[in-house]
Amino acid sequence: MTGRRVVYRNEVSHRFARAELLRRWRAGEASREEVCDADFLLRTAAEYHGVPAGYPCPVCGAEDLRIVRWIHGEQLGRMAGTARSEEEIARIVATGKEATVHTVEVCPRCHWNHLLTAVTATT
């Protein structure tokens, strides 16, 4: 790596939407199928590219909740729409490319998933 640090800016938080969805589910206004809909690709990305969340799943209480980062952006070519580690994101933006990074929590057990934040990554 070049030693340049990743700068994250323009953060958009989706935590309010997460809290509202969980409130609706707990109140019986949303089904478990509605809140636990992570597809195979997302669950696989969580397994191989995710990191432990450090807190339990808000739906089933499992301790193996994972955090996955997905990158998007016109400058990324085929890398766009893929899950990447922090180190990989740093290497990509060190080349001068800008990326939007979506941070998603995923439960491999019950399939809960939610977008937490979207940020722009640059150097």
Condensed to tens digits (0 to 9), the pLDDT of residues 88-108 reads: 999 999 999 999 999 999 999
Task: At 66, list the tokens.
Answer: 């994972």
42-51: long-range pairs with CB below 8 Å, 24+? 42/68, 42/104, 42/106, 42/113, 43/106, 43/108, 43/111, 45/70, 45/83, 45/106, 46/106, 46/108, 47/108, 48/83, 49/83, 49/84, 49/85, 50/83, 50/106, 51/85
Instruction: Please report the sign of the dihedral spanned by the C-alpha atoms of residue 29, residue 31, residue 34, residue 38.
Output: positive
Whether residue 57 contacts residue 114, with contact meaning beta carbons closer than 8 Å, is answered with no
Rounded CA gap, 65 and 52, in Å?
6
Condensed to tens digits (0 to 9), the pLDDT of residues 37-65 reads: 999 999 999 999 999 999 999 999 999 99
Rounded CA gap, 5 and 114, in Å?
27
User: In this predicted structure, what is the pLDDT of residue 1?
Assistant: 44
User: In this predicted structure, what is the pLDDT of residue 110?
Assistant: 97
Q: How confident is the model at residue 2 (pLDDT cuts 50, 70, 90)?
A: very low
- pTM greater than 0.75: yes
25, pLDDT greater than 60:
yes
Mean pLDDT score of the chain, rounded to an integer? 93
23: left (phi over 0), alpha (psi -120 to 50) or beta: alpha
Residues facing residue 100 across a β-bridge: 72, 120
Q: How confident is the model at residue 5 (pLDDT cuts 50, 70, 90)?
A: confident
